[in-house]
Homo-oligomer: A and B are copies of this chain.
Amino acid sequence: MPETIPDNSVGIVVPQTLSFDQPLQLSCGRTLAKYELVYETYGTLNSDASNAILICHALSGNHHAAGYHSIDDKKPGWWDNYIGPGKPIDTNEFFVVSPNNLGGCHGSTGPASINPETGEYYGPDFPLVTTKDWMHSQARLADKLGIQQWAAVIGGSLGGMQAMQWAVDLPERIRHAVVIAAAPRLSAQNIAFNEVARQAIMSDSEFHAGHYLAKNTLPRTGVSLARMVGHITYLSDDAMGSKFGRELRTDSIKYDYDAQFQVESYLRYQGEVFSESFDANTYLLMTRALDYFDITEDYSGDLGAAMKQTQCKFLLVSFTTDWRFAPERSVEIVNALVEAGRDVGYAEIEASQGHDAFLLPIHRYQDLFSAYMINVAKEVSTT
């Protein structure tokens, strides 16, 4: 292992791809005849396949959750703080599977893929997929990998919602659900921010009704704006304050509309970088999957009834300054689980970073997450 890669890293990882030829019936009524899923794995599957963990990613995430793709990589995968030898999701104990979601833009079949039936980009013709569709596609991935039951399904934000979907809809295939910084469904405000993002993308003159790849262009402005809006909602007011305050990039105010405050140039830069690497149609699809997510949809809005379907144990985590999916949203779920008689742990973590906290190394969060996962590992050993 190269010297630059720390000992507690999973090291260099190589993404793998599996093809699925059995048609997948989707929530929207359409069927996907065939598709590919790209995924990474960390650790080793044990003989009875009882130590497997599924990582579900959030809106802009992907399969690269831990380790490095090459020794030149500047940054490891998005959840490297939590996945690795000796880390909360301990790869000495677990076999971790981290797929890119169907509809994504990092290797799994999605709007930026070529439709094998037409030889053209799917673009806007790629069907809208939901958390349920993701769950079913992940279940098929589990089947191919020989995993009948996950030791745990784990995710933050939209990833946490997928973990909940597994717990409710495929209860016999999951022993633990770790649901971090999530909610039982989106609020009107959540949907409103998503709608602004979508309008920004769809009204970009380079969007071409979603056929921008065929036109050899990208709706950079719209995606950049969407990312800027999103970024603000991932951070707390406090976190932005301590990161940027009212600091200027120049010595004094210039009285124009250039980026003068540090926070302006930061957001513009983040938006621009994102707009080069993330597919606009995937962004639309992911925000719509969020809007449509409602763990109570098959239970007439009754969260208690939904949670009664579950059989697994739960850990729920929220963060004090997360205003996108505030602690109260997690408490709703916890209360419904307690009411249903489930074994549920819950921690509201004191953290200044807002929604983004779920990605960051925070001592109490790490300790608590580790403690929970050690118990998950103990069950594996005795399985």
Per-residue 0/1 for A31-57: is the Cβ within 8 Å of any B Cβ (1 yes, 0 no)?
Answer: 000000000000000000000000000
Q: From B28, B196, B259, B292, give the contact of A229 (CB < 8 A).
A: B196
In the complex, what residue of chain B is closest to A127 when comparing beta carbons? Answer: B255
Q: Are the CB atoms of B284 and A246 closer together than 8 Å?
A: no
In the complex, what residue of chain B is closest to A200 when comparing beta carbons? Answer: B225
CB-CB < 8 A to A128: which residues of B?
Answer: 255-256
Q: Are the CB atoms of A263 and B225 closer together than 8 Å?
A: no
Q: Bound complex: CA of A292 vs CA of B259, how far in Å?
A: 13
Q: From B187, B205, B261, B288, give the contact of A191 (CB < 8 A).
A: B261
Q: Are the CB atoms of A267 and B192 closer together than 8 Å?
A: yes
Q: How far is the CB of A40 from chain B (nearest CB, A)?
A: 30
A contacts with B: majority SS: helix
Known: A232-B193, A255-B27, A256-B128. A199 touches B225 (CB 8 A): yes
Q: How far is the CB of A282 from chain B (nearest CB, A)?
A: 13
Q: Are the CB atoms of A198 and B241 closer together than 8 Å?
A: no
Q: How far is the CB of A80 from chain B (nearest CB, A)?
A: 27
CB pairs A–B below 8 angstroms (22 shown): A186-B246, A187-B237, A187-B240, A187-B246, A188-B241, A188-B244, A189-B241, A192-B232, A192-B240, A192-B264, A195-B264, A195-B268, A196-B232, A196-B267, A199-B224, A199-B268, A199-B271, A203-B225, A237-B326, A255-B292, A257-B288, A323-B323
Chain A contact residues, CB within 8 Å of chain B: 27-29, 127-128, 185-189, 191-193, 195-196, 198-200, 202-203, 205, 221, 224-225, 228-229, 232, 235, 237, 240-241, 243-246, 253, 255-257, 259, 261-264, 267-268, 271, 284, 288, 291-292, 294, 323, 326
- A187-B246, A188-B244, A237-B326 known; 18 new pairs, CB 8 Å cut-off, are A29-B255, A128-B256, A186-B246, A188-B237, A188-B261, A188-B262, A195-B228, A195-B261, A195-B267, A195-B268, A196-B225, A199-B225, A199-B268, A200-B225, A237-B323, A246-B294, A253-B292, A257-B288
